[in-house]
Amino acid sequence: MTTDVLTRKHGRIGHISLNRPKAIHALTLEMCHARSAALSEWEKDDEVEAVILDHHEGRGFCAGGDIAMLRNSALNDGGVSGRKFFHDEYQLNHQMFTYEKPIVAFMDGITMGGGVGISQPAKFRVATENTRFAMPESGIGLFPDVGGGWYLARIGGRIGQFLALTGARLDGSECLWTGIATHYVEHSMLEDIKARIAQHPDRIAGILSEPTGTPPEARIKANADKIAKHFASDAYEDILASLDKAAEAGDDWAAKERDTLGTKSPQTCKVALRQIAHSNELTDFADNMAMEYRIASRVLLRPDFAEGVRAVIVDKTNDPKWDPATPEGVSEELLDAIFAPLPPEEEWKPL
């Protein structure tokens, strides 16, 4: 039994707290299993009417998945343990998405990658002034998984595509404005609100909607028109050309975003655009997770992932050598191979 996840009941709620502060609560396979087991137990427990999800201590809600383990798997075991992690993590994501009792996720602090995957399925998603939300996978040659395609596709205004490609970070007020968060609460009020939810799990919406601090103006709102214009196409080359043209005309924002994209994995960016377009057409979250598992199984073993993690996380040189090195080098045939069905016995299935 892992101590990296704390599960307990108090009042009429089940309470799950991530407890791996030195890693900003990055998820391990054992943490996914512990959370899934608690949810399964409470689903059948009539005493539990709702579930609270938060982190026990430290500066972040959840920084993502166990990237070091995934890279080690890619380099040393042919991706076997990495695929197992993705498979079971995605089962947890789907379990939360289809859970019949309300889940309240407190996104207080860093909420990235795997942290997005365990916050976005919750019915209530609470941001604070500490929230830093991002899907930064394009910087390490992965892709916005854990249901990212589904959620990003449904933000609107092409903001999901912008977040997937650039890895931009949103603060709490921006999460509220985009719908990534359902509520905004100041950090100082969280303990009181959790206690009240434990007493009145039938009144969660009302408790969260009472005066809980006024979020500042969402900064991304000022650039929403530019995002909608420049990130309008599902063709990555079109997006780059649009930003180039605006940058040449003196648009500093476009120049900054174009420079940002120049550091990202061309493969990831093209995968993300196709993934989000496909997710937008799906009506069943399980189908989305099956698609993302196919992508994960292939991308894990492609050169960009191990190289991206080396450059950004291991060596911290921030000089990844992407392969293919250019958007033009990422062919439709390569994308087709990444998205192709797996053998029937290897396909992802819900719990």
- The residues assigned a catalytic role are 65, 114, 137, 145
Q: Dig out the tokens for 120 from the structure.
A: 């976005």
DSSP string, 101-131: S-EEEEE-SEEETHHHHHHTTSSEEEE-TT-
* Cβ neighbour number for residue 186 with a 10 Å cutoff: 15
Q: How many CB atoms lie within 10 A of CB 326?
A: 9
How many alpha carbons fall within 13 Å on the CB side of residue 331?
3
CA 233 to chain centre: 22
DSSP letter at 98? T
Token pair, residue 297, equals 């199984």
Are the C-beta atoms of residues 106 and 61 closer than 8 Å to each other?
Answer: yes
In total, the chain counts a number of residues equal to 351
Q: Do 187 and 175 contact (CB within 8 A), yes or no?
A: no
98 is written with which tokens? 């289809």
CA-to-CA distance for 330 and 338, rounded, in angstroms? 11
Question: Strands 13-18, 5-10: parallel, antiparallel or unpaired by DSSP?
Answer: antiparallel
Ranges of beta strands (E only) in the chain are: 5-10, 13-18, 50-55, 60-62, 103-107, 110-112, 124-127, 132-134, 183-184
Taking alpha carbons only, the member of 295, 257, 61, 64 closest to residue 158 is 257
Burial of 99 (0-12, 13-18, 19+ CB in 10 A): middle
- Count of CB atoms within 10 A of residue 27's CB? 27
Residue 322: which of 140, 171, 72 has the closest Cα? 140
Structural element, H or E, at residue 53: strand 50-55
